[in-house]
């Protein structure tokens, strides 16, 4: 949807005006008419005019109206100048205007020496254009050696004071030397810086950082960062979200005085603008990150130590679990081998059948369960060795008799003992069956004999031989044979 644009009155040379520009012109006319003679506008009216002016600038920027004092450009110019001075002061140098003070290339070379921690060739002493271009070209060659690409920016544009190109060059340097090295959880530098801010300010009321513009507009986020690292410097709970200007003033003053973080953002720009410039805010926030780098490193080191300790505990836990699993399995194998090695005679077919049923249950239930334990033990051992190798630690050497090869040899022994015991029980079953058959045969014959001898006592006690002659006695004898 296109924005409504009003045309200026005839004779105007300012081009099309935005709705806000028309509105502010009307406000100025009304307010000036009501201004007391020789007096000034009330503060409320002044802030109202400033807000409408900011809206007009924002709408002009959205329309693409080419103005050198666009809001983002003015903010970046102030911030990048402050950033450059924060480094140049180490060499007792200072700039006032990035458009003019970098044009001869001398201070640009010095800035690169400081932020790159290198020694660059001495600049040309001449003041002619050719000398300035050569100095800037030397700076560009160093930038290129650092792997930094300056897209569509040439030395001549810096010498000629092309403000947009100079700001673009400075932003590229800020990205490379201030922001690029910020890393967290394999994120991009910008996302890592944003996540760092979110983690640091999470416990604070009225601070919800989701970007590098509107989330910083009330000044509370800067105070929260300071309080998180230096709670002795301020009382965060005393701050009010509505007091943006006071919040910025306190944060920047404390940071400059106690933390050696120079203010790089203009408080008026942050409070009055519709949307703060993202690059400017990132530059200031990166300075806070670097100032707290030592604590960041301490936190990182603490996290690494905690990770190492946790890894060691995990390794110890896995080792202990292996030892326990191996001991339990070997104890079971030993008990089973002892049980199956017993050759005590088994009495009775039913007893033998009961033992065989128990062995069937063993083979269908207990044996597969222990076989699964053996597989889990071997998998556990493999996982343990892999984790130790990935952690750069030497491999694990189990206790004597608990090597995987020892487990496998013991397992083979229980299988052999089971088969041998099965054969023994079957042999015992056959022996008991044969014994039962022989007992049955014996009992049958004994019963027959007992039946035959039944009533023979009376017959044998009778005196039927006293009256017999010799032939009769012989006959009775043969009868009893």
Return averaged pLDDT per consecutive 10 residues of the chain, 481 residues in all: 36 45 54 53 58 56 50 92 95 92 94 91 89 94 90 92 93 91 77 92 94 95 95 94 95 94 94 92 94 72 81 92 94 93 89 90 92 94 91 90 93 92 91 91 89 75 74 78 67
Distance CA 475, CA 468 (A): 10
Tell me, what's the pLDDT at 186? 64
Q: From residue 439, how far is each of 262, 354, 397, 425, 445 by CA, in Å?
A: 112, 22, 60, 21, 10
| Cβ proximity of 355 and 364 under 8 Å | no
Q: Give the pLDDT confidence score for residue 215 in this predicted structure.
A: 95
The per-residue pLDDT for 1 is: 39
Polymer length of the chain: 481
pLDDT for 307:
81
DSSP 346: P
pLDDT for 152 equals: 87
Q: Which residue has the tokens 């049980």?
A: 339
Q: So what's the pLDDT on residue 26?
A: 54
Q: What is the pLDDT at residue 302?
A: 75
Tokens of 112: 């690169």
Distance CA 217, CA 194 (A): 15
3-state secondary structure of 17: strand
Other residues' Cβ atoms within 10 Å of the Cβ of residue 434 = 10
The position carrying tokens 């450059």 is: 84
pLDDT at residue 94 in the model: 94
Helices and strands: H and E segment counts in the chain: 19, 0
C-alpha torsion angle, residues 89, 95, 101, 106 (rounded to 10)? -10
398, 322 Cβ separation under 8 angstroms: yes
Gap between the Cα atoms of 205 and 108, Å rounded: 42
| 3-class DSSP assignment, residue 55 | helix
Are 34 and 24 within 8 A, CB to CB?
no
pLDDT for 85 equals 95
103 to each of 164, 215, 257, how far by Cα in Å? 13, 35, 32
**All residues at 6 or more sequence positions from 91 whose CB lies less than 8 Å from its CB, including other chains:** 110, 114
Q: What's residue 261's pLDDT? A: 93
Residues 6+ apart with CB under 8 A from 49: 24, 27, 28, 31, 41
User: How high is the pLDDT of residue 65?
Assistant: 45
Q: Which tokens in the block code for residue 471?
A: 């032939």
303 — phi, psi (to 5°)? -65, -40
Tell me, what DSSP letter sits at residue 217? T
Give the other-Cβ count within 10 Å of 329's Cβ: 20
Look up residue 457 and give its two tokens.
């006592």
* Residue 60: closest CA among 11, 17, 107: 17
Tokens 């300790």: give the residue.
309
Tell whether the torsion through CA atoms of 183, 185, 189 and 194 is positive or negative. Answer: negative
């Amino acid at each position: 949807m296109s924005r409504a644009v009003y045309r200026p009155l005839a004779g105007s040379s300012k081009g099309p005006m935005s709705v806000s520009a028309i509105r502010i012109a009307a406000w100025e006319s009304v307010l000036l008419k009501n201004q007391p003679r020789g007096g000034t506008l009330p503060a409320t009216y002044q802030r109202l005019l400033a807000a409408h002016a900011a809206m007009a600038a924002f709408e002009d920027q959205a329309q693409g109206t080419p103005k050198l004092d666009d809001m983002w450009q003015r903010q970046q110019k102030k911030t990048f100048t402050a950033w450059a001075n924060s480094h140049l002061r180490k060499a007792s140098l200072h700039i006032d205007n990035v458009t003019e003070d970098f044009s001869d290339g001398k201070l640009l070379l010095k800035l690169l020496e400081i932020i790159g921690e290198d020694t660059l060739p001495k600049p040309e002493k001449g003041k002619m254009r050719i000398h300035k271009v050569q100095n800037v070209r030397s700076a560009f060659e160093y930038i290129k050696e650092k792997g930094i690409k300056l897209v569509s920016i040439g030395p001549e544009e810096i010498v000629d004071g092309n403000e947009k190109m100079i700001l673009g060059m400075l932003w590229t340097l800020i990205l490379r030397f201030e922001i690029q090295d910020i890393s967290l959880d394999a994120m991009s530098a910008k996302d890592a810086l944003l996540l760092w801010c979110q983690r640091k300010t999470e416990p604070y009321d009225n601070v919800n950082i989701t970007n590098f513009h509107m989330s910083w507009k009330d000044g509370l986020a800067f105070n929260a960062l300071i309080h998180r690292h230096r709670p002795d410097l301020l009382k965060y709970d005393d701050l009010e979200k509505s007091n943006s200007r006071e919040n910025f003033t306190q944060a920047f003053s404390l940071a400059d005085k106690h933390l050696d973080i120079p203010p790089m953002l203009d408080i008026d720009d942050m409070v009055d603008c519709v949307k703060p410039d993202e690059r400017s805010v990132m530059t200031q926030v990166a300075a806070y990150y670097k100032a707290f780098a030592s604590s960041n490193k301490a936190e990182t080191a603490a996290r690494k130590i905690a990770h190492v300790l946790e890894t060691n505990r995990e390794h110890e836990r896995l080792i202990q679990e292996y030892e326990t699993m191996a001991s339990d399995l070997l104890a079971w194998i030993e008990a089973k081998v002892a049980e199956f090695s017993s050759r005590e005679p088994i009495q009775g077919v039913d007893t033998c059948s009961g033992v065989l049923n128990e062995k069937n249950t063993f083979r269908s239930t207990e044996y597969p369960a222990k076989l699964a334990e053996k597989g889990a033990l071997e998998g556990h051992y493999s996982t343990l060795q892999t984790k130790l190798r990935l952690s750069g630690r030497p491999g694990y050497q189990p206790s004597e008799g608990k090597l995987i090869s020892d487990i496998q040899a013991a397992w083979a022994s229980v299988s052999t003992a089971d088969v041998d015991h099965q054969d023994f029980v079957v042999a015992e079953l056959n022996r008991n069956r044969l014994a039962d058959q022989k007992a049955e045969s014996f009992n049958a014959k004994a019963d027959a004999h007992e039946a035959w001898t039944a009533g023979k006592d009376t017959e044998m006690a009778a005196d039927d031989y006293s009256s017999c002659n010799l032939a009769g006695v012989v006959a009775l004898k043969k009868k009893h044979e």
